[in-house]
Amino acid sequence: MEKLIEGFYKVLHRFHACRPKIESHGDLTNVEFFMLVGISHMIEEKKKNEGGSWQEGITLGEIIKPIEMSMSAASKKISILEKKGLIERRNSTEDRRNVYITFTEKGKAICERERERKRKWMVEIIRRMGTDDTEKLIELLNRIFDIMEDLKK
């Protein structure tokens, strides 16, 4: 058992050590980048599910729900992204109390560029590992995360 625990720690350490080598997002922190990408995914989902109602953007409440971030922490990150000119806040045309978050052109461009860069990186990993091993890895990682979430309860 101790050998397995040591091996698990080593894998986690290697994964953590690789992050700086693969995560270059210009002047964005990792949290800011992933928040930007998350907003992009949420807007895409709204486009698919709600037709025209997505055009105003998404609310802060919609952003924090899936990522389990506090309203104040998310609001601070949104303010930083806004100051960097990547997103903007707009009052709803139907109810001025609702504030929607949308991308600026600069934000869209960074998000698209980085998503494509990450996609190419993942394609190369899958090519080198092979489809079968990648599928097994995804299955096992999901199983680990399910167990970890269960242990949190």
Among 116, 112, 114, residue whose Cα is nearest residue 104: 112
Among 119, 92, 98, residue whose Cα is nearest residue 37: 119
**pLDDT tens digit string along 92-118?**
777 777 788 888 999 988 888 877 888
pTM for the whole thing?
Answer: 0.68
**pLDDT tens digit string along 24-40?**
556 677 778 888 888 88
Q: How many CB atoms lie within 10 A of CB 28?
A: 19
**pLDDT tens digit string along 126-139?**
999 999 999 999 99
